[in-house]
Structure 1
Amino acid sequence: MSLHADAARVLAGWRPTEAAQDTLRQAYVTHLAAHPDGVWRSCPAAHITASALVVDPAGERVLLTLHRKLRMWLQTGGHCEHTDTTLAGAALREATEESGVTGLRLLGTGPVSLDRHDTPCATHLDVQYAVIAPSDASAAVSEESLDVRWFGYDEVAAVADPSVVRLVDRTLALL
């Protein structure tokens, strides 16, 4: 199965509990139906990205990365690559690369949230997952980051934008 087919399958089957999230889900499905290249950064209209919020195994903190280009504290994530065959796999790959943490595992079986946002390169149709870090997780700064740091849930709103806060809230509802 191709990444495009997996993305279409995941998004068609995901049932968010919030109406705004379902509206976004439908827009993503429509985008993929209209754009065979809709998962690649080369798609000029917009493209699917995959991200993951890294949660500590005790469920008390999240690992955020200070994005080098955007200079914002964000969850890990980014563009899909041609070696990716699933959205979940792309999110896990991005989380591992950007956090330096190995042994991450998905929380649940599907996305936690969707977030559409404009970036300097294009409109990102982000499919957001949550992953659990192993108990001995040791984070490392990647070339895409200026820093990586663990934050308590109550600290996130002070450092991150509302989209990250929403992702944290939706992840907490799953724990």
Structure 2
Amino acid sequence: MTLHADTARVLADWRAPEPEQDRLRADFLRHLEDHPDGMWRECAPGHITASVLVLDAARTRALLTLHGKIKIWLQLGGHCEPGDATLAGAALREAAEESGIAGLRLLPGGPVQLDRHRVRCHPGGSWHLDVQYAAVAPPDARHAISDESDDLGWFPLDALPEPTDDALRRLAARAARAAPVTS
């Protein structure tokens, strides 16, 4: 199965938590139908990306990156690469590369939410069609700042740092509901 086919399957099977998310799901599927290259950065109208909100083992804090280019706190993630076999695998690869943490485990049930946002990948702009997961870090996880980040830090899910955006706040709230606190 190709990454394109895996992504279409993930999106087709995903149960959106609300009508707006279901509209995005349908838009993402339409994008893949219309663009055989829709997984790749080279697709100028837009492309699928994969991101992960990494939670600590207790599931009370999120590891966020102060993005080196846009200078706001975000979840980890980015572009799919030709070596990625699955969308979930792309998300985990990105999270491990950007956090330095091995052994991340995605929460069961697939993506947590979808987000579409403008980016400057091409002259005149483009769209990231971001499929957002949540993962749990091992109890002894230690992070390391990558070249893409100005900083990394753990923040309570209910007290995210500024500056950030509404998409991250929604992702944190959904991840908190999907990953109850462990003792």
TM-score, normalised with respect to structure 2:
0.93
* Structure 2 partner of 1:74: 74
Distance 2:78 2:100 in 1: 15
**Contact 1:157–1:165 (8 Å) recurs in 2:** no
Residue 56 of structure 1 is matched in structure 2 by 56
Instruction: Using the TM superposition, give the Cα deviation of residue 157 of structure 1 relative to its aligned residue in structure 2, in angstroms.
Output: 5.8
Alignment-derived partner of residue 149 in structure 2: 145
Q: How far is the alpha carbon of 1:25 from its aligned partner?
A: 0.2
Aligned-residue offset at 1:17: 2.0
Q: Report deviation, 1:47.
A: 0.2
Larger mean CA deviation between 100-109 and 85-94 belongs to 100-109
Where do residues 153-172 of structure 1 align in structure 2 (5 Å cutoff)?
153-156=157-160, 158-172=162-176
Q: Distance in 2 between matches of 1:143 and 1:159?
A: 20
Stretches of structure 1 that go unaligned for 5 or more consecutive residues are: none
The runs of at least 4 aligned residues of structure 1 exceeding 3 Å deviation read: none
1:19 is matched with 19
- Counterpart CA distance in 2 for 1:155 and 1:143 is 26
For the 8 Å contact 2:73–2:162, the answer to whether it is kept is no
**How many aligned positions are there?**
175
* Superposition RMSD in Å: 0.9
Q: Is residue 97 from structure 1 mapped to residue 97 from structure 2 by the alignment?
A: yes
> Residues 72 and 162 of structure 2 are in contact (CA less than 8 Å); yes or no, is this contact kept in structure 1?
no
With normalisation by structure 1, the TM-score equals 0.98
Measure the CA separation in 1 of the matches of 2:109 and 2:86. Answer: 12
DSSP 3-state at the match of 1:17: coil
Q: Does 1:83 align with 2:83?
A: yes
Paired residue for 1:130? 134
* Cα distance in 1, alignment partners of residues 62 and 164 from structure 2: 12
Aligned AA for 1:54? V
